[in-house]
Structure 1
Amino acid sequence: MNLRPPSPTSRRRMLQALLGTAALQAPFAALAGFNFFTSEYTASRDELQAMIAKRFPVAERYAEIFMVGLRDPQLGLDAGANRAALTATLTIASPLLAASPVQGVVSMSSALRYDAPTRTLRLDHPKSERLELQGVEGRDAERLQKVGSIVAQELLQGQVLRSFTADELTVGRKTYEIGDITVQDNGIKVQLK
């Protein structure tokens, strides 16, 4: 009679047969930021920076005479205020401006929200914190700063920070939803419920 224990290879095959190969390999190998044991997902600042950079440049016309554009976004995280911060290069062009286009930098802060139908983490109610323009002074600077702030807020409202696929949010027969969103110093953590 053979009383040898099964080899590691045969144990692995038996376990895969019992649990199903797809359930054993798919969700955990590809989802490094997901922690299904603590029911949370953490997206690093670098991951989010790479994702938002793909969505720029963006531009919008204002009052049919100004074209406002944003490029080169830099994501920051404000854990104390539980807000995301975004700094971008701003361009304002208009036939009414002697020196067109006008360049500058805008810094925004934003709350975050999860949009369930599209499975996306988005900026919500961004607020212009600082806007600096180069080569413009006085009343012209004030007007352009107002235009730049309004359009930058419109351009960033609803901007996607992270998209989730149905496969990422499904383990076995359980499909998770996103709950609370917490901004940390080096990433954004979402609760899986």
Structure 2
Amino acid sequence: MSRTLINRLSHARRPLLALAIVAAALGTAHAGYNVWTGEYTFTKDELQSAVDKRFPATLRYGELVSVRLSNPRLVLDEAGNRITTRVDAALSNTVIPSPPVNGSLALNSGVRYDATRRAVLLDNPTVQDVEVQGMSQYREQLNAIGAVVAQQLLKDYPLYTFKPEELRFNGKDVEPGAITVAPDGIRVQVNLR
């Protein structure tokens, strides 16, 4: 290769190198923000960590039933653009002492952005499934308990709250837009205001 051609190639790479350095600096300044796609991304592990903070929890229904919920496990539903939270449940009769009845609940939620709170929230949680050993005859009552659990525990629960500086780029305010659930996390599109 001629020296002139080598010099030209070297000069051509400088703008690319500068662009890569700027992109790296922006990427580290705003964790989870992808400058190429204009999206914040949150991994399944980050989402799981946020939901873990809500559990264990114990809820009482009237004076009869106590439900202890633990061990949340997230399932990301790309096709439905929803998040399912499976939790272990232990139901106890608070009037008559007896061992708890064990089972699980699956609570299905949408995801939305709340501008006032600057947060990505679980939205409109519903009961997807209730499994309790030996109590299939009480499915209707268990679903009613599951519906209350969904509303009390996960309605408007924040998965992530943006810091003010994360919603400002190059002197311009940005606002989260469409939220997409993927198998490995969620993506939040960023729009200029």
Please report the TM-score for the alignment, with normalisation by the length of structure 1.
Answer: 0.76
Calculate percent identity across the aligned residue pairs.
35
Instruction: Give the stretch that moved more between structures: 66-75 or 77-86.
Output: 66-75
Q: Distance in 2 between matches of 1:69 and 1:30?
A: 40
Question: 1:29-108, aligned counterparts within 5 Å?
Answer: 29-96=28-95, 99-108=98-107
Alpha-carbon deviation of 1:150?
A: 2.0
Q: Distance in 1 between matches of 2:181 and 2:99?
A: 38
Q: Which has the higher helix share?
A: 2
- Candidates 147, 152, 175, aligned match of 1:150: 147
Alpha-carbon deviation of 1:184?
A: 0.9
What CA deviation, in whole Å up to 9, does each residue of 1:28-64 have, x standing for no partner?
3143420234321111111111121122223332224
Q: Distance in 1 between matches of 2:73 and 2:136?
A: 28
Amino acid across the alignment from 2:50? M
Alpha-carbon deviation of 1:172?
A: 3.4
In structure 1, the residue matched to 2:181 is 183
Q: Is the 8 A contact 1:77 1:85 kept in 2?
A: yes
SS at match of 2:148: helix
In structure 1, the residue matched to 2:15 is none
Amino acid across the alignment from 1:179? G
Q: Is the 8 A contact 1:84 1:112 kept in 2?
A: yes
Q: Is the 8 A contact 1:27 1:168 kept in 2?
A: no
Q: Distance in 1 between matches of 2:187 and 2:111?
A: 11
Instruction: Label 1:27 to 1:102 Cα distance change in 2 as closer, same or farther (>3 A).
Output: farther
Q: Distance in 1 between matches of 2:157 and 2:68?
A: 14
In structure 2, the residue matched to 1:11 is none
Q: Is the 8 A contact 2:32 2:41 kept in 1?
A: yes
Q: Is the 8 A contact 2:63 2:95 kept in 1?
A: no
Q: Is the 8 A contact 2:66 2:92 kept in 1?
A: yes
Structure 1 unpaired stretches of 5+: 1-14, 16-22
Q: Which protein, 1 or 2, shows the higher relative CO under an 8 Å CA cutoff with sep ≥ 6?
A: 1
What CA deviation, in whole Å up to 9, does each residue of 1:131-152 have, x standing for no partner?
1113x4354x336513431222
SS at match of 1:80: coil
Amino acid across the alignment from 2:167? L
Please list every run of at least 4 consecutive aligned residues from structure 1 whose deviation after the TM superposition is greater than 6 angstroms: 23-26
Please report the TM-score for the alignment, with normalisation by the length of structure 2.
Answer: 0.76
Alpha-carbon deviation of 1:186?
A: 0.8
Q: Distance in 1 between matches of 2:25 and 2:57?
A: 35
SS at match of 2:150: helix
Instruction: Label 1:89 to 1:178 Cα distance change in 2 as closer, same or farther (>3 A).
Output: same
Instruction: Label 1:66 to 1:109 Cα distance change in 2 as closer, same or farther (>3 A).
Output: same
